[in-house]
Structure 1
Amino acid sequence: MGFGFTGEDVAYLRSAEGGDALAAVAQYSLTTRTHLADLAAVRARFGAHASALIETVRLRRKASAKLDRADRWLLTDDALQQATPHHVAAARARRLAGRRVHDVTCSVGAELSALAGQCEYVVGSDIDPVRLAMAQHNIGAGSGVALLRADALVPVTAGTVVVADPARRAGGRRRHDPAALMPPLPELIDAYAGRDLVIKCAPGLDAEALGWRGEVEVVSLDGGVREACLWSGSLGEAGVRRRATVLHSAGPEEQYTDALPDEIPDAPPGRWIVDPDGAVVRAGLVRHYAAAHGLWQLDPRIAYLTGDDVPYGARGHRVLEQVRFADKPLRQVLRAYDCGALEILVRGVDVDPDALRRRLKPRGSRSLSLVVTRIGRASTVFVCEPTVGGTAPTRED
């Protein structure tokens, strides 16, 4: 569950003395192997503050891949688990640029720091005084962000876009029922009925079951789906109900919506099998993505695409051979290609990849991938050479 910070802990950590202590504790390894020795040493130097110091340094290290300048942040474990990654928060802030925004569940301020650089006026509020104190430290005195303690279900500003991120974790455990979030999602929507509203949710949210009538944006970062974001109708793009935003830590932002063309050819498999980004799949925009990149589907019911090139950032598998789905011919083909390390991707077929790998017993030196899928009613396998996404492979002559 992590260490339970108090207001006194936060006040100490924000002080000059606490800052010096944090710098000193950051020199310790704080690994599982050194934990007892490090804890004893920190207690000997800093007494009752030892646990708060160690937890803060530990959380800062965990946050380094998620937050900008994480070595200056104050955090709780639950707050870090739900904190919006910097690149995702920055993309949302760009959509809200120039507006007056109120983050009603600001927590430790991960979203506020991005909004402050883009929006005309920013307010942050939270019910937890400890997290508010941390947010005040994290965003800095010169940010221009107003902070106050308030219940997210009680509107305290007018004329603002309301941004909310209902807590999906408690004590390290994830909640899935929208009504069990904090605050409950249906109550949050009712509290701000008629207002400009942006709500961050888990990627698996069933927005239709919730009755949401605005835009649903699914966001990924570096290939991992991070969230679904609900945008009220006044904030969305005309004619758009579904959007996939594909972000890269180093690379361009990609946007796909259901307003784009989705006409794609019906053709045999191309040189490459392309596994679309998870945001595209979850947003139901596979055909729109394919049309944008000159690809087509192996089967209209399966999310694998094919074509003669691989789009930027996508995962591509260069087809070496197509084989019927049976163990004996697969073993023979893999042996001919000297296959050793074998990645198995499955869609549309009831196959356990680990069990299949054990049956095939690859023992060679070459790394290959198998794409096991269905075309029409027939199960088929593509033996491929995998290519990590990042830059589009060059087309072979």
Structure 2
Amino acid sequence: MSFLGSDAGRLALAEVGRLDLGTTTLVNDIGSVRTRFGDRAAVLVETVQLRRRAAAKFADASEWLFTDEALQQATAGPVAAHRARRLAGATVHDATCSIGSELAALRDTASHVVGSDVDPVRLAMARHNLGSGPGAEVALCRADALRPVTRDAVVVVDPARRSGARRRFDPRAYQPPLDELLAVLADRDHVVKCAPGIDFAMMTEMGFDGEIEVTSLAGGVREACLWSAGLTAAGVRRRATVLDTGEQLTDTEPDDCGVAPAGRWLVDPDGAVVRAGLVRHYAARHGLWQIDPDIAYLSGDRLPDGVRGFEVLEQLPYSERHLRQALSARAVGAVEILVRGVDVDPDALRSRMRLRGDDRASVVITRLGSGAASRATAFICRPSR
């Protein structure tokens, strides 16, 4: 760690960074690094590779230090920046600061920032990553998140949800355990980052009575974040935040949307909206309706601004034979398949279609109706983009 942060280490990393380190050259490249830097070769190569992977999360991680596990858990830059904006002007204590990804965002908005962690190596990396420029005034110390070292600050915690390569799905197996964490923070304003698949009912059982915010970025749901009641608007219990469009939706908004057959467009709401249970709220906001009360696909005569939709060309009862015939009649040779509510593997189905043609289409397969009246239905569509 001390070598990587030194002038000699920075020069060594720059030299290794000029290597390809790709599949076909990796063995030779490692040999070259070992010849040049001896037993420091492994950490130099790993650091360069982690920095390259970090480009998917951070605008500029070219000088950062990581461990593999810390990088996997680190909050993507835009998600951290969004959380920091919600905490603008507050005194904030990041009690699991790890390598400093949250601190880097918080120091731009908070009035005062403190970071702590139980891992001395990650703390040292955080000191390096925060640098000596603006924001170097962030105070860092070694401490256990279950024993907060601040008194009046908002406590931000990101419990570890991995053990090596394995994910921890039970929040009571997080490190620190979520139930213990919520008990410790019960009398404090707090923000706790959780896995997007967290069981909302379990949160209620643990005594959490604040807001659960589900956030998506680049088309994928990134996290569910628990905001204590003192940090959210009155009555809000669920929020969906779509960073790609900047849209936010809460459960305090109207949810009076109808159920009707598909119109001109089908819309597959963003995963944050679906995961937060706000599909009907989203439909009501945008003048859409459900095509089935139990399915998240929506329909409308116009698309919401900035949203990708599917213009319905044909609707038919789903079977592989009927679908293949319909696509063949349209000379479709390439197809995107979306599935919800039916047991169909899109990749396997696509390979079985054996399509030939010059046209492209999207196929939406879903189940409409309930009980004995339910039926699998396919929509052949033209995507808006």
| 4+ residue segments displaced more than 4 Å | none
2:100 counterpart (97, 109, 112): 109
Letter aligned with residue 198 of structure 1: V
User: Would you say the 8 A contact 2:260–2:292 is kept in 1?
Assistant: no
Residues 1:331 and 2:327 aligned together:
no
Alignment partner, residue 375 of structure 1: 368
2:339 and 2:101 map into 1 onto residues whose CA distance is 36
Alignment partner, residue 239 of structure 2: 243
Letter aligned with residue 47 of structure 1: G
Alignment partner, residue 231 of structure 1: 227
Deviations 1:126-148 (A, max 9, x none): 00111000000111223121100
What is the TM-score when the length of structure 2 is the normalising length? 0.94
Alignment partner, residue 395 of structure 1: none
Alignment partner, residue 88 of structure 1: 79
Alignment partner, residue 385 of structure 1: 382
1:133 counterpart (118, 124, 127): 124
1:54 and 1:266 map into 2 onto residues whose CA distance is 56
1:47 and 1:361 map into 2 onto residues whose CA distance is 54
Q: 3-state SS of the aligned residue for 2:103?
A: helix
Residues 1:67 and 2:77 aligned together:
no
User: Would you say the 8 A contact 1:345–1:353 is kept in 2?
Assistant: yes
Q: 3-state SS of the aligned residue for 1:284?
A: coil
1:102 and 1:366 map into 2 onto residues whose CA distance is 55
Q: What is the Cα deviation at residue 109 of structure 1?
A: 0.4
**Counterparts in 2 of 1:12 and 1:287: CA distance versus 1, 3 Å:** same
User: Would you say the 8 A contact 2:241–2:272 is kept in 1?
Assistant: yes
Alignment partner, residue 110 of structure 2: 119
Residues 1:200 and 2:193 aligned together:
yes
Q: What is the Cα deviation at residue 355 of structure 1?
A: 4.5
Alignment partner, residue 27 of structure 2: 36
Q: What is the Cα deviation at residue 358 of structure 1?
A: 4.4
Q: What is the Cα deviation at residue 210 of structure 1?
A: 2.9
2:140 and 2:34 map into 1 onto residues whose CA distance is 34
1:30 and 1:354 map into 2 onto residues whose CA distance is 31
1:321 counterpart (314, 324, 335): 314
Residues 1:162 and 2:155 aligned together:
yes
Q: What is the Cα deviation at residue 361 of structure 1?
A: 2.7
Percent identity, aligned pairs only?
A: 61
Letter aligned with residue 378 of structure 2: V
Q: What is the Cα deviation at residue 359 of structure 1?
A: 4.4
Residues 1:177 and 2:177 aligned together:
no
Q: 3-state SS of the aligned residue for 1:94?
A: helix
Residues 1:309 and 2:302 aligned together:
yes
What is the TM-score when the length of structure 1 is the normalising length? 0.91
2:84 and 2:216 map into 1 onto residues whose CA distance is 16
**Counterparts in 2 of 1:108 and 1:335: CA distance versus 1, 3 Å:** same
**Counterparts in 2 of 1:350 and 1:171: CA distance versus 1, 3 Å:** closer
**Range with bigger deviation, 147-156 or 378-387:** 378-387
Q: What is the Cα deviation at residue 331 of structure 1?
A: 2.4
Residues 1:269 and 2:262 aligned together:
yes
1:151 and 1:359 map into 2 onto residues whose CA distance is 54
2:25 and 2:352 map into 1 onto residues whose CA distance is 42
1:240 and 1:208 map into 2 onto residues whose CA distance is 16
Residues 1:97 and 2:88 aligned together:
yes
2:351 and 2:66 map into 1 onto residues whose CA distance is 44
Q: What is the Cα deviation at residue 38 of structure 1?
A: 1.1
Deviations 1:281-330 (A, max 9, x none): 00000011111111111111100011122224433111111112233432
**Counterparts in 2 of 1:82 and 1:312: CA distance versus 1, 3 Å:** farther
Q: What is the Cα deviation at residue 352 of structure 1?
A: 3.4
Q: 3-state SS of the aligned residue for 1:309?
A: coil
1:321 and 1:170 map into 2 onto residues whose CA distance is 48
User: Would you say the 8 A contact 1:275–1:314 is kept in 2?
Assistant: no
Deviations 1:322-369 (A, max 9, x none): 112233432221111111112222222233334443443322222212
2:273 counterpart (271, 276, 280): 280
1:266 and 1:153 map into 2 onto residues whose CA distance is 48
Alignment partner, residue 255 of structure 1: 248
Alignment partner, residue 184 of structure 2: 191
2:138 and 2:102 map into 1 onto residues whose CA distance is 11
**CA-based RMSD:** 1.4
Alignment partner, residue 209 of structure 1: 202
User: Would you say the 8 A contact 1:276–1:315 is kept in 2?
Assistant: no
1:280 and 1:63 map into 2 onto residues whose CA distance is 27
1:192 and 1:25 map into 2 onto residues whose CA distance is 44
User: Would you say the 8 A contact 2:259–2:293 is kept in 1?
Assistant: no
Q: What is the Cα deviation at residue 54 of structure 1?
A: 0.9
1:268 and 1:164 map into 2 onto residues whose CA distance is 45
1:111 and 1:271 map into 2 onto residues whose CA distance is 43
User: Would you say the 8 A contact 2:256–2:281 is kept in 1?
Assistant: yes
1:268 and 1:155 map into 2 onto residues whose CA distance is 54
Deviations 1:248-292 (A, max 9, x none): 2xxx41100001111123433121111100000000000111111
Letter aligned with residue 265 of structure 1: G
